[in-house]
Amino acid sequence: QGLVSKAGWLIGYIQITEFVGRSYRRTVGIVYQVAFTVGLLLLAGVAYVLPHWRWLQVTVTLPNICFLLYYWCIPESPRWLISQSKNAKAMRILKYIAKKNGKSLPASLQSLRPDEEVDEKLNPSFLDLIRTPQIRKHTLILMYNWFTSSVLYQGLIMHMGLAGSNIYLDFFYSALVEFPAAIIIILTIDRIGRRYPWATSNIVAGAACLASVFIPEDLQWLRVTVSCLGRMGITMA
């Protein structure tokens, strides 16, 4: 599970976002996250049927083998092919996409010759993330944010199991809040930008965690509600 889950999720995200234009990239990325939320809802039911954690892990991990059955029919990313000076393969894929969509290739792509070679192939490395002061600052900020968001997201999921009375229903309810989180992001990210929704969602998640410390144990409904609010905030972040 540790080997395939995060890697499969990240590779799938990169694959689909490289196939769409920039104006659609944000929406596609958010909808892709919604598919993860649907999986969480299904996980609650599977866990109820298979309460033993070993069988549960096997059940949710084995379906990854299915990805090996159809990898050959998934086209390579045209953006990556062009960056590697494989323009002929990129043009074949782009023409196939345009044909299926009933559209013609944009002028900028029509001018791309299949036999055209770039002076140098792009060979990115990890050093590119720290090469200049500006990109180094952004890299460190994003690394810190991904670390804190991931820890808090996992922590809130585990907290639901400790704070609630029915672990399956509480997990199900907490997963439902990820749907409004996705809707809020879709509605705000283009109108307001990234920084304000990001900052606000982090504040909401942090405030929910802080408030949950002071809620008495006999107020289970309030503890679950606050945890769900924090879950929604960190999902948006």
pLDDT digits (tens, 9 = 90+) for 9-61: 888 899 888 888 888 888 898 889 899 899 999 999 999 999 899 999 999 88
pLDDT at 105 over 70: yes
Which among 153, 188, 156, 182 is positioned nearest to 34, based on CA atoms? 182
State how far Cα 115 lies from the chain centre.
36
More confident residue, 139 or 191: 139
Degrees to nearest 5, angle at CA 93 with 91 and 95 = 65
CA distance 127 to 237: 26
More confident residue, 123 or 38: 38
pLDDT digits (tens, 9 = 90+) for 79-96: 888 888 888 888 889 888
Which among 163, 158, 173, 148 is positioned nearest to 228, based on CA atoms? 173
What are the Cα distances from residue 94, in Å, to 16, 71, 208?
14, 18, 47
pLDDT of residue 117: 53
More confident residue, 65 or 233: 233
Domain spans in the chain, listed from the N-terminal domain onward: 126-236
* Percent of the chain whose pLDDT exceeds 70: 92
Contact (CB, 8 A) for 17 and 28: yes
pLDDT of residue 116: 53
Which has the minimum average pLDDT: 108-117, 133-142, 175-184, 206-215? 108-117
pLDDT of residue 118: 54
pLDDT digits (tens, 9 = 90+) for 134-155: 999 999 999 999 899 989 888 8
Which among 17, 33, 52 is positioned nearest to 149, based on CA atoms? 33
